[in-house]
Amino acid sequence: MGTYVTPQGFRAKTLQEIRAELTEGLKTIFGPTFETAVESPNGHLISQLSLVHANLWQLAAEVYASRDPGQAEGVALDWSAVLTGIDRKPETSCRVRATLYTDGAEAVIPAGSVAQRSRGSLDFTLFGDVSIDRTACDELVVVDDGSQRSTAYTFHFTFGDITLNNESLESNMARLMHIVNQSGMATAGFMPGRTDAIYIRQGSGPVGIAAPLPQDFAFRPGSDGVFEAAPGRQTCEAGELDTIPEAVDGWVAVYNREAGVPGTDLETDDELRVRRAASRSVRACGTDPAIEARLKAEVPGVTDAYVQSNRAMTADPVTGRPPKSFEALVIGGDDDAVARKIYETQPSGIQSYGDREVVVVDSRGDEQVIRFSRPAAKYLWLKVNYSIYSEEQVSSNAEIRDALMSWAATEYGLGRDVIPDRIYRGLYTGTTGIGQAEILVAVTNTPDGTPVYGSGVIGIGHAEYASLAAERITLTRSN
């Protein structure tokens, strides 16, 4: 080891040591009577030179410390993490799959078209052109346009002809919905908030209707597309992407039936340090914890994952998992990237299970079907009543909401119960100027549900997660 890089670490010279060395060197050159008093002209020069040398030693100390992941920051920490095969997770965009509708026979909605999330008027940009054709689309909406009871109407759907001649007490739309569902060839349901319109989907392929079209009904075909918001921590709950802010020829409506994949901020230094430290134990494959760890560590945008297998020879009676299978529940991340990582880490010969299905091409060029699940969101509501602490600057309502949102983003992973007392940590560590506070919580199944507030713990199922949005935080200041 050297003189300054020792087994105990780096030892930098102090300012006093540098000044003493310069003084001694100058007296060696000019003689012992050379004036070096601090207040003398030579003394002032020695002080300035000492400060320059001290700054260089400080630079050396910082360079040395930048090799320590516990002290490194920013780019230096990136370099340190790369040595262990870990890259900082980039910021990602919230992505949501939604259905785009036209009221004509066909339309092409160009890439770059903008839809808007009703909450906060957040713009989402269409990723790729979407073609809509009434004879072959992802979803067909049928609207009652003055139909009559006891009148025969024939629909030439792609999955077969259906005749509606309603003699029951049901509405014509309810009766048509039941006939479609009973056929077993497609699924139908009411459009949200409407009783005069139903949607029809065919799980195995496109759905459509051919001429001649029955009178007294209108048809609105729709095709699915993927939208992206600007990078950053954003969510889009089911049904929130429902606005077209600027007219696009042929595009009349948009709606997302499922929540989008949340966007994420750039990984912080603290988060990267924790993940780097854990990386030494995540290279394994095949076990439930190993698949979980690598999904969280190696797939951008994944904020949490939980893997559970059924090792029995019979189906799990509770979850429905087939024998000798495993299910990965994943929050965040692109579907293709998640499926690829599951394929790389899954045990050989054991089938994946879930409600999402993605085809992965292996190294031999063969197609492998990978399945996993997206957990269900439980919509968290907070009611915060607080008084101010006058000796500190009081955080604004926007800052309080941001603090609670940031804390919740790391707190509420899969199956994490809502414990009101823990929320105080996020409130007080992320804000200033708050004295006493009371926090009440509620959870609903939909983002626009009616909350019933309380102070007790709220259980979250293993396949669920609590989702908090700024619009569901109510702040009341008492003084």
pLDDT score recorded for residue 284? 57
Number of helices and strands in the chain (H, E): 9, 24
Q: Residues near 6 by Cβ (< 8 Å), separated by ≥ 6?
A: none
- Round to whole Å and give the CA distance between 139 and 141: 7
Which single residue is written with the structure tokens 């940590």?
Answer: 425
- Number of residues in the chain: 479
Q: Which two tokens stand for residue 104?
A: 């004509």
Q: Which two tokens stand for residue 327?
A: 């299910």
The DSSP-derived string for 317-331 is TTT-PPTTEEEEEEE
pLDDT score recorded for residue 283? 57
Q: Which two tokens stand for residue 336?
A: 């293709």
What are the pLDDT tens digits along the chain (479 aa)? Answer: 567 787 778 888 888 989 998 999 988 999 988 998 889 999 899 999 999 998 998 888 888 777 777 778 888 888 888 887 788 888 999 999 999 999 999 999 999 999 999 888 899 999 999 999 999 999 999 999 999 999 999 999 999 999 999 998 899 999 999 999 999 899 999 998 889 999 999 977 899 999 999 999 999 999 999 999 999 988 888 888 999 999 999 999 999 988 888 888 898 888 888 877 766 655 556 788 889 888 988 888 888 899 999 888 898 888 889 999 999 999 888 899 999 999 999 988 889 999 899 999 988 899 999 999 999 889 999 999 999 998 999 999 999 998 998 899 889 888 899 999 999 999 999 899 999 999 999 999 888 789 999 999 999 988 899 988 888 999 999 88
- Round to whole Å and give the CA distance between 444 and 460: 11
Beta bridge partners of 231: none
Q: Which two tokens stand for residue 356?
A: 């999402």
Q: What angle do CA 333, 130, 372 make, to 5 degrees?
A: 30
φ, ψ at 444 (rounded to 5°): -125, 160
Q: What angle do CA 470, 476, 479 make, to 5 degrees?
A: 140
Task: Give which of 279, 200, 230 is closest to 122, Cα–Cα.
Answer: 230
Q: Which two tokens stand for residue 301?
A: 């945008």
Q: Which two tokens stand for residue 208?
A: 């459509």
8 A C-beta contact, residue 200 and residue 139: yes
Per-residue pLDDT tens for 67-91? 777 778 888 888 888 887 788 888 9
Per-residue pLDDT tens for 112-167? 999 999 888 899 999 999 999 999 999 999 999 999 999 999 999 999 999 999 99
